Structure 1
Amino acid sequence: MTLTGKSVVITGAATGIGRGITECVLKSGANVTIVGRREEPLRDLADRYGPAVTVVATDICAPGAAEQIVAAATESFGRLDAVVNNAGLARFGRLESIDPALFDAMFAVNVRAPAELIRCALPQLRANRGSVVNISSVGGALSMPGRAFYGATKAALNSLTRSLARELAPDVRVNAIMPGPVETPMWNETGLDEAGTRRLRADLLSSTPMGRFGDESEIGRWVCVLLDPEVSAWMTGALIPVDGGRTA
């Protein structure tokens, strides 16, 4: 696989799955505009990879953020070929106890912001017969007691992916990866207490046939597959589980 000469935007690029994706895409030869709220870890990537990286430190839900991201990518690299919507928000809790405002917050990050970034990038993506990869979750396909709000937003992202795949074809391909449990810092930010997080992790591990959590690079390699037009030119509207067998 090679992405040499491609210009790719990756949101939520600083840590976890986003960092794994960024590393894989850069090693495949692309130029990358990395987006995140915290500038320091983004600068660390830029220092390591030099002029192949442009940093945009912003909240993807902020007014004008999508336009800012697209402008930075095109100004830095002269074009935009692909968007990877990886930034996400996960907060868990049962219906009677979770703050309903968290649903609005998760919908904004997990659905509305990706749609807005695709919309703003669309002229470039059409001109370059580009590609979108949305990072969803197996939570968008499985029943998730105690995580219903999060799962609902990922189901919405799956629906957005499939609908836009038809709407934007044949000029732009739109696919999604649905990761299972991946070992990332997200587990420190679920909204659960320490005991609740331990129970959740144990439940996820016991329901994963491969018997382990995934690694962020295992998601990154699949993103590279979907971005490479030599490999995946006839793939659009796919929701690909990379989940250790959880959805089997």
Structure 2
Amino acid sequence: MRGKAVVVTGGTRGVGAGIAAAFVRAGAEVVVCARRPPEKPVEGAVFAPLDLRDPQAVRGFFEALARVDVLVNNAGGTPYRLLAQSEAERHARVLELNLTAPLTATLAAYDRLRRARGSVVMIGSVSGTRPSPGAAAYGAAKAGLENLARSMAVEWAPDIRVNTLVLGMVRTELSALHYGGEDGVEAVSRTVPAGRLADPVEVGEAAVFLASDAAAYISGASLLVHGGGERPAYLDAATVNKEE
């Protein structure tokens, strides 16, 4: 990736910071963008303030860049919100951030990506492939994002490759808030076949792979980064073959 120009949206903390750091280590020139500057900057990356929900600002941001070889659409997230306990407008904001904003950014970067014969990496989630109570709008957005990536891959081939990293649970600075402290994190980790949550750097290495020449024939694909997924609940409920 040496000399490649990489943009990572939401690259100031957590998964995004891990992705940005991995590209820096691979020799890329990295720009991270978010609404607020990072508390702890990613060494070697340049920060640019940007509200990804402002289409005009997004277009202006990419127009100011001389080159874009790789775009990583990482920005996203959701609060815990049961469907019937909030109005549709609030759920729509989750869709806007997790689905519309990546579309806006990718379209704004299209000309530069095409000239560079570049690559787009969408950051998806296992929430897009399973029921997501408390995060239904987020799950719907991530399902849409994966489908959007596949359509882009077909429409823009062979000039631009588009792939999705489908993430499971990742250990970040906010994990304890999500899962109830360190005990909660450890309990959740035991539900993953790998026995732990992913590290943001591991997500970053997977993103570098998909953007690199090593993945030159990979487009329209979804790479699962989830530690083996989830153990089927029926295995624990069944009574056969259990040790006495």
Q: TM-score, normalised by structure 1?
A: 0.85
- 2:202 equivalent in structure 1: 218
Aligned equivalents of 2:227, 2:91: Cα separation in 1:
27
Corresponding letter in the other structure for 1:122:
Y
Seen in structure 2, the aligned counterparts of structure 1 residues 128 and 218 have a Cα distance that, compared at 3 Å, is same
Is the CA contact (8 Å cut-off) linking 2:176 and 2:182 kept in structure 1? no
Q: Deviations over 1:117-136 (max 9, x none)?
A: 11111111111110000001
- 2:60 equivalent in structure 1: 68
1:20 to 18, 28, 47: 18
Aligned equivalents of 2:8, 2:72: Cα separation in 1:
5
Q: TM-score, normalised by structure 2?
A: 0.86
Q: Deviations over 1:84-125 (max 9, x none)?
A: 000002222322224433321111111111111111111111
Identical-pair percentage: 34
Aligned equivalents of 1:113, 1:223: Cα separation in 2:
19
Aligned equivalents of 2:186, 2:140: Cα separation in 1:
22
- 1:85 equivalent in structure 2: 73
Seen in structure 2, the aligned counterparts of structure 1 residues 235 and 93 have a Cα distance that, compared at 3 Å, is same
Higher RCO structure (Cα 8 Å, ≥6 apart): 1
Superposition RMSD on alpha carbons, in Å?
2.3
Is the CA contact (8 Å cut-off) linking 1:136 and 1:179 kept in structure 2? yes
Aligned equivalents of 1:101, 1:184: Cα separation in 2:
29
Q: Deviations over 1:178-202 (max 9, x none)?
A: 1111012344776xxx86x899857
Number of residue pairs matched? 231
Residues 33-52 of structure 1 aligned to structure 2 (within 5 Å): 33-41=31-39, 44-45=41-42, 48-49=43-44
Partner of 1:136: helix, strand, or coil?
A: strand
Residues 85-104 of structure 1 aligned to structure 2 (within 5 Å): 85-104=73-92
Structure 1 residue 142: deviation in Å? Answer: 1.6
Structure 2, unaligned runs of 5 or more: 232-244
Partner of 1:163: helix, strand, or coil?
A: helix
- 1:177 equivalent in structure 2: 165
Seen in structure 2, the aligned counterparts of structure 1 residues 224 and 70 have a Cα distance that, compared at 3 Å, is same
Higher helix share: 1
Corresponding letter in the other structure for 1:61:
R
Moved more, 107-116 or 92-101: 92-101
Is the CA contact (8 Å cut-off) linking 1:91 and 1:150 kept in structure 2? no
Residues 67-216 of structure 1 aligned to structure 2 (within 5 Å): 67-74=59-66, 79-187=67-175, 204-216=188-200
